[in-house]
Amino acid sequence: MLCYSSALFIILVGAVLAQIDVNQALNQNKLDVGSSVLNDVELEKTFPRTNLSRMRSALHSLRQNWSAKLQAMPARNYESGGGGNQGADGGVQQPQPLREKPRDRIKTEGDTLHQVNKAAGLNDILYQGDMVLTDEQIGTILEAQKDGSTENEARKRRQAYRDRYYPSTIWGNSVYYYYDRTATPKIVKAFEQAVAFWSNVTCINIYQSSTALNRIRVFKGQGCYSYVGRISGVQDLSLGTGCEEFGTAAHELGHALGFFHTQSRYDRDNYISINYANIDPSFVEQFDKESSSTNYNYGMPYDYGSIMQYGASSASSNDKATMVARDAEYQDTMGSDFVSFYDISMMNEHYKCKELCPNATSAQCTNGGFPSPRNCQICICPSGYGGSLCEQRPPGCGEDLTATDAWQTVQKTLGDGLPVLRDNHTLCHYWVRAPEGQAVEIRISGLTTVTIDGCIFGGIELKTNKDQKLTGYRYCSSADQNTVHRSSGSLVPIVMFNRYASTRATLDYRAVTPSATDSTSPDATTFAPVVSSCQDLHPNCGFYEFFGMCRLRRIKKICQFTCRDCSNRNRNRNHNNNNNNSRNNSNRNNNNNNNSNNNYNPFGPVPFWHSFSAYQ
């Protein structure tokens, strides 16, 4: 019987590991080869409003232009130094080390918009990876490449589309759309969520109508793409296979409402560095920057967490970073599937929604919020804030934590552990508050979730910046363990989110006296190094333990906590002995909280297509 059990165990383990390798290979093959690439006749039917020959010629010209520009940029060693931090005075600090992290793959059709469109073979038709242009827009962009504008003029070039006909080229108060017969229930569900979101947070009324003169045709094409702004008549918005999610639908609808990409802002070089060596030559125009004749951003800062910002490895030829955040801690924030607060604020400016709420008679919002154009007596709030005036922690999961001068620890798990991609994120909000006049210091001592650009399947967001309207620093990799942040104020909102398997986070926090050198982002030389604590490095360690796989050395290595492979001394040596009682009491309380969390299933089955090699 023992031999039979051992043999069964070996077969099970072999099947698990073999299936991981097979699915990884299948996923890569689908992403690299593509499927059902359209021929020219089909393309002309798909893009009736676009001069395909001129579009190809324009993209070829842009690629040559930007290849020359990017190659001429000073070379940087991104392996040892990645962008650098943006200084408080706007100056760029020296580069910081870039933590290259192996990225997980979850969906066979591709996890990102770029992967989906690359497989569809649309790179010679779409501008910046997912935008269809009219003949006039093609001409405007080509003309902007040789307009010879000065740096001061160019700094006006921003994110929202404003041509010389603005505001007559925006939709006005009403936007119309209809579903083509090819639209699947998944497409309808995702697009309806995007419609509801943009409608609720702006004054834009978005109606379904198949007879309106100007309307958007939502259909299942090859890939994900949209026209930019209202072009008059019927304009297409495709949500093909792999695009039927809220984040992608909100991104494409953002284009249709008038947004370009965040990384195409003219001032983007102050915030991201482009690593030409990693760029797929077929997508080099993705890093084109817009002109003053087409862009404007209403004076709003660059937000790495914008729904219109591509991921760090987008358009990569080798899965390595093509864009490196100058504030290195924002590297994984790029590529988000959340609509950021600044996205919402900019859309409201673009459609003049804020004019509907006079300051004297509207809600007096706190923490950077602004009155909702749907109800001027309540506020639209930055992430991490809630209540009618943005003065409260958002309702639902989460808690208030009080920081003292002693280190305390909070350990939380979010998600059911199942390898099922849910439609929407589950969110928990935590507020860590220090005494008035003090700052909060937070250390990530453990983090287990899916590692991917934008943390689109789960992670944590730490809001330590002075500007609380900005997206906070997002993390979704065990490589981020030991990262330390010090806040600008006495309150730090923390957002934990998950929509696949589970996200586990262990955070240490304490109150500290702010110093004159404190900044909005961490300085790696300021804080003492932290010894790695006992943590799981894989979201499905419960599965491995349940089937007795903790006897395997490599399983034990990635699941130290679940496999009980660390002593009490190792678990506690991250902190001084005089803080042990405080930490143990905190851990006991957190264990009680975790036991009552019905969302977490520690024995969820392993997703066979999940990257395993990243944790070996």
The pair of structure tokens assigned to 207 is 């109606």
Instruction: Report pLDDT digits (tens) over 258-310.
Output: 999 999 987 888 899 999 889 988 888 888 876 655 667 898 999 999 999 99
Give the containing element (helix H, strand E) for 196.
Answer: helix 185-201
The full DSSP string for 212-275 is: -SSEEEEE--SSEEEESS--SSEEEEEE-TT--SHHHHHHHHHHHHTB--GGGSGGGGGTEEE-
Contacts for 88 with CB less than 8 Å, ≥ 6 apart: 519, 520
The reply to whether 420 and 314 lie within a common domain is no
Range of weakest confidence among 19-28, 40-49, 54-63, 230-239: 19-28
* pLDDT at 576 > cutoff 60: no
Q: Give which of 24, 245, 304, 264 is closest to 144, Cα–Cα.
A: 264
Edge to edge, the sheet with strand 426-433 lists 398-402, 426-433, 491-498, 458-462, 473-475
Residue 335 lies in a domain: no
Question: Is there a binding annotation on residue 60?
Answer: no
Please say if 42 is a catalytic residue. no
CA dihedral 241, 244, 245, 250 (to 10 degrees): 120
How far apart are alpha carbons 333 and 476 in whole angstroms? 9
**321 shares its domain with 402:** no
β-strand 370-372 against 473-475: which pairing, if any? unpaired
Q: Which of 296, 313, 330 is the last residue of a domain?
A: 330
Closest CA to 157 of 4, 3, 44, 295: 295
pLDDT score for 59: 83
Residue pLDDT, tens place only, 474-487: 999 999 999 999 99
- Give the pLDDT band (50/70/90) at residue 536: low
According to the model, what pLDDT value does residue 69 have?
A: 74
Residues 314 and 166 in one domain: yes
Residue 2 domain-assigned? no
* pLDDT tens digit sequence for 116-132: 878 887 877 888 889 99
234: number of Cβ within 10 Å:
16
Least confident of 65-79, 458-472, 602-616: 602-616
Domain presence at residue 589? yes
Q: In CATH, what number is assigned to the domain containing residue 278? A: 3.40.390.10
* 165 pLDDT more than 60: no
pLDDT tens, 147-163? 544 434 433 434 565 55
Cross-strand pairs, 401: 432
What does the pLDDT average to over 360-381? Answer: 98
Q: Are residues 134 and 259 in the same domain?
A: yes
Q: How many residues does the chain have?
A: 616
**Whether residue 442 is found in the same domain as residue 530:** yes
The answer to whether residue 27 is domain-embedded is no
Evaluated on CA atoms 311, 264, 461, 332, the torsion sign reads positive
Domain that holds residue 100: 40-330
Q: Select from 281, 312, 330 the last residue of a domain.
A: 330
If pLDDT is split at 50, 70 and 90, which confidence band does 72 have?
confident
Q: Give the CATH number for residue 546.
A: 2.60.120.290
Report the pLDDT value the prediction gives residue 125, as an integer from 0 to 100. Answer: 84
pLDDT at position 518 over 70:
no
Residue 60's pLDDT is what? 82
Residues 70 and 165 in one domain: yes
Give the C-alpha separation, 59 to 131, whole Å: 12
Q: How many CB atoms lie within 10 A of CB 543?
A: 22
pLDDT at 432 over 80: yes
| Same domain flag for 321 and 223 | yes
Residue 341 lies in a domain: no
Q: Is the pTM of this model over 0.75?
A: yes
Domain shared by 320 and 458, yes or no: no
Q: Which of 330, 345, 375 is the last residue of a domain?
A: 330
Give the total number of structural domains in the chain: 2
Q: Which stretch of 97-111, 298-312, 320-334 has the lowest confidence by average pLDDT? A: 97-111
Q: Measured in Å, how far apart are the chain's first and last C-alpha atoms?
A: 32
pLDDT at position 76 is 60
Of 55-59, 191-195, 289-293, 595-599, minimum mean pLDDT range: 595-599
Catalytic residue among 252, 290, 461, 545: 252
Q: What is the pLDDT of residue 476?
A: 96
Tell me the C-alpha distance between 264 and 508, whole Å.
37
298 plus 404 within the same structural domain? no
Q: Which residues contact 610 (CB under 8 A, 6 or more apart)?
A: 20, 104, 105, 106, 419, 450, 501, 539, 540
Q: Is 64 part of a structural domain of the chain? A: yes
pLDDT at 610 over 50: no
pLDDT in the model for residue 159: 57
Confidence of residue 511 (pLDDT cuts 50, 70, 90): very high
Q: Is residue 410 part of a domain?
A: yes
CA-based torsion, 170, 174, 180, 183: positive or negative: positive
Q: What's residue 37's pLDDT?
A: 57
Do 201 and 58 lie in one domain? The reply is yes
Average pLDDT, integer, range 460-481: 96
Q: Are residues 406 and 312 both part of a single domain?
A: no
DSSP per-residue codes, 96-134: ------PPP---TT-SSHHHHHHHHT-TTTSBTTTEE--
- Identify the band that residue 556 occupies on the pLDDT scale cut at 50, 70 and 90: confident
What pLDDT band is residue 543 in, cutting at 50, 70 and 90?
low
Whether residue 23 is predicted with pLDDT greater than 50 in this model: the reply is no
Q: Whole-angstrom Cα distance, residue 456 to residue 476? A: 9
Indicate if the pLDDT at residue 107 is higher than 80: no
| pLDDT tens digits, 78-103 | 544 433 343 333 334 444 556 667 67
Residue 573 has pLDDT above 80, yes or no: no
Residue 538 counted as an annotated binding residue: no
Asked whether residue 485 is marked as a ligand-binding residue, the answer is no
Among all chains, which residue has been given the structure tokens 């070829």? 60
Q: Express each pLDDT in 583-600 by its tens digit.
A: 444 444 444 343 333 332
Shared domain for 474 and 578, answered yes or no, is yes
CA gap 140, 132 in Å, rounded: 14
Q: Is residue 303 part of a domain?
A: yes
- Mean pLDDT over each residue of the chain, to the nearest integer: 77
For residue 410, what is the enclosing H or E element?
strand 408-414
